[in-house]
Chains A and B, each alone.
Chain A
Amino acid sequence: MRTLAQQIHSMKRNWPSFETVEMNADHVVWFGDLEGIQKPYRVMVEYGLPKNLLTDPLFRQFPQVRVLSPPLRPNFEAAEEAPLPHVYFDKEDLPNSVLCLFDPRALEWSSDHFIALTTIPWTCDWLASYEGWLATGRWFAGGRHATPQVERVS
C-alpha cells in the first residue's frame, strides 16, 4: 500500500497545479484544474487510507473525484447514460455525484497504485468523454454498470 506521503509526492510531481487543501495523518483532499478536451474543469479528489474494509466510507476504498466547476449538467433527455454518465449518483445533488472511473470488480485500482498515474488521467478521460456526451447525448468511451438496465414496473 502506498503511504499518504507517497501519494502527495507523486501528485506534486505529476500534477503540480493540484493543491492540497486538507490533510491529516490518513486523509487528504486536493483541488486542481484539468482540461479533458480543452475547457478547464476544477475537480476535487478525496482519499483516505483504508482502515477497516467492512466499515470504511467510500473515500477510504478508492479516491473519490467530484467536479466542482463548471458543475456537471444532468441531461435526462440524453439518448445514453441519462442523466449523468458513469457516476455514483448523489440523488440529493446530482452535480456533486462521484465519478466512476474504474471497475472495482476487475480490481483496476488498489491502494498500491498512485492516484496521480491512475485516478487523475482517468478523470481526464472521463471529462473528455463527458464533453462528447454533453454535445451528442451519447457515450462513446465504453464502460460497465453495477446493475443491468431494468424497467421498473409502477
Chain B
Amino acid sequence: MNEITMASPPLGPTAPVSEILLAGIAIRIELPPSLHWLAIERYEAIRKHIEREGSPLHDKVVWFYPQGSMAIKATIKSRRRQDGYDIDIVIELLLPVTITPAQILDLLYEAIKGEKGSIYYDMVERQTRCVTVYYADGMHLDVTPSILLDENDPRRSHIFHAKLEEPTTAHKRVVMNSWAFCEHFNRALPPDLLFEQAYAKRARDGMKVLADAEVKPVPAHSTMEGGKSAAVVGLQLLKRNRNMRYAKRVGVRMPPSVMMAKFAADCQLPTGTICGALEVISGAMLSALLAAEMRNELVDVRNPTCNEDCFTDRWPENRAAQQTYISDLKLFRQQLHALMNGALGLDEMQELLIEMFGEGPARSAVEEQARMLGRAVETGVRGIGVTGRVIPAAVIASPSIITSAMAKPRAHTFYGERWPKK
C-alpha cells in the first residue's frame, strides 16, 4: 500500500498517484461556487416570497435553514447535467401542533405557488415530505416544513409525511433534527487546514493546466470557500459512487446521504488522506450493513443528536435493497484497494476510476495528471525518486525519496522515428 510520510504533504508532488487522482475527481464533481451562491440567492428569494403580505404563511416562518449536503459542504453535481441538483431547505413554521401532515404540506405548497401569474406558480410540486421548486437550469429546491417540538431543544422538530395517493391514516409526523446533526458533523469533521490548502492548490493548479490547454479562463471552484477535510471529500466521492451505481436501477431508492454522513462523522480518521477516508468510511458502512444482515435485520442508523430521528426510515425497504448496497460497497473497496496498492499503470487506474466515479471526471483528472507530468518532463522541472518515480516539482524532497544527484537530471529531448503513414 502507498504510505504518505512526513516528507509527503497532502496532495503534494510525492503523494501517491491514486490520492492525487481522487482529489482531481472530487474537485470536478463539486458544486461550483457560482451555483452555490445562486442556490443561496434563490432560497432567500423563496423565503421572502413565503413571508410576503397575503401569503398563507405570512408571519408564520420562524427559521429557514439549509440541511443536508449544503450545510456540511458536501454538495456534488449530478452525474448528468439534465438531472440537475437538489438543495434541501427546512422551513420551521409557527403553526398549531394539531395541524395534519397533509394540511401543512398543502399550506406550504399554496404559499409558494401563489396566485396565477406569480413567479413560482408553474415551478412548484407537492411531494410526500416537501415542496419542490424547479428552476429551468435544473436546480431543485426542496423545502421541507417543520414545527419545533421543544423550544428548549433547538431545532428538534416534526416534519410531515403525507403521500398524495395514500389514505390519511398512512400520513404521519416524523421527528428530526437535521440542524443539530449538521452542527455535530461540522464539529466532528472540522476543516483540516493542511489538507484544505493542498486541496485548494491542486484545484487551482489543475484547472489552470486544463484551462491553458483549452485556452479558457480558469473556472472558479468551491475550494475558494475553504472548509474542507479529507473526510468530506471522501464522503462526496462515496456519494458520487452511489449515484453511479444507482443510475441504472430505475425506481429504486438510494441509500440516504445523511446516513453516509453519519458514518463519516463517526469515523476516526488519523491519516488525513482521501484514500484513508474512503477506506474507513466505506468500511464502517459495510460493517454496519453486514452486522444487520447477520441479525436478519435492516440497518437502523439514528441521528446522534436526536435518537427519534431515524436516517434509515425509508431505506433499505427490504433485505434485497440492503444486500444491493453491501455488494456495491464490497466492489468499491476492492477497487479502492487496487488503486492504492501501487501496481497499476495510469491507464489501468483510469479504467478503475471510470467504473467508480464516471467517465467525465475520471478522464479529465487523469489527463490533468498526464499533462502535469509531461510538462514537468519537457521543461526539466522535476526530480527522479530512488525508485525511478518522476516527481513533478522543483522542490528537493527527503533524501529517502530523492537523491541529490537525481534532483535535477541533465536536460534531454525525446527523439525517434515516426511510424510511416499509409
Chain A residues with CB under 8 Å of chain B are 14, 33-40, 82-89, 100-104, 106, 108-109, 113, 117-118, 120-129, 131-136, 138-152, 154
Contacts and interface: CB of A to CB of B under 8 A. Distances in A.
Interface stretch (B80-88, B188-196, B365-373): B365-373
Given A131-B346, A135-B347, A36 B413 contact: no
A69 to B, nearest CB: 12
B378 A118 contact: no
Interface string B387-422: 111100000000000010110011111111111111
B415 A140 contact: no
Given A124-B390, A138-B370, A143 B415 contact: yes
A88 B416 CA distance: 6
A37 B418 contact: no
Contact of B417 (A123, A124, A136, A145): A145
A87 B377 contact: no
B378 A142 contact: yes
A36 B417 CA distance: 22
A35 B389 contact: yes
A85 B419 CA distance: 9
Given A140-B371, A141-B374, A149-B418, 6 more contacts: A86-B414, A136-B363, A138-B370, A140-B370, A141-B378, A154-B422
Contacts of B382: 125
Nearest to B382: A125
B384 A101 contact: no
Contacts of B419: 82-84, 89
Contact of B350 (A106, A120, A135, A138): A135
B388 A35 contact: yes
Given A37-B345, A38-B389, A113-B410, A128 B373 contact: yes
B17 interface: yes
A37 B389 contact: yes
Interface string B334-351: 000000001111111110
Contacts of A135: 345-347, 349-350, 366-367, 370
Contacts of B415: 86, 100-104, 143-146
A120 B366 CA distance: 25
B389 to A, nearest CB: 4
A147 B417 contact: yes
A117 B374 contact: no
Nearest to B2: A38
A140 B414 contact: no
A134 B374 contact: no
B417 to A, nearest CB: 6
A108 B16 contact: no
B361 interface: no
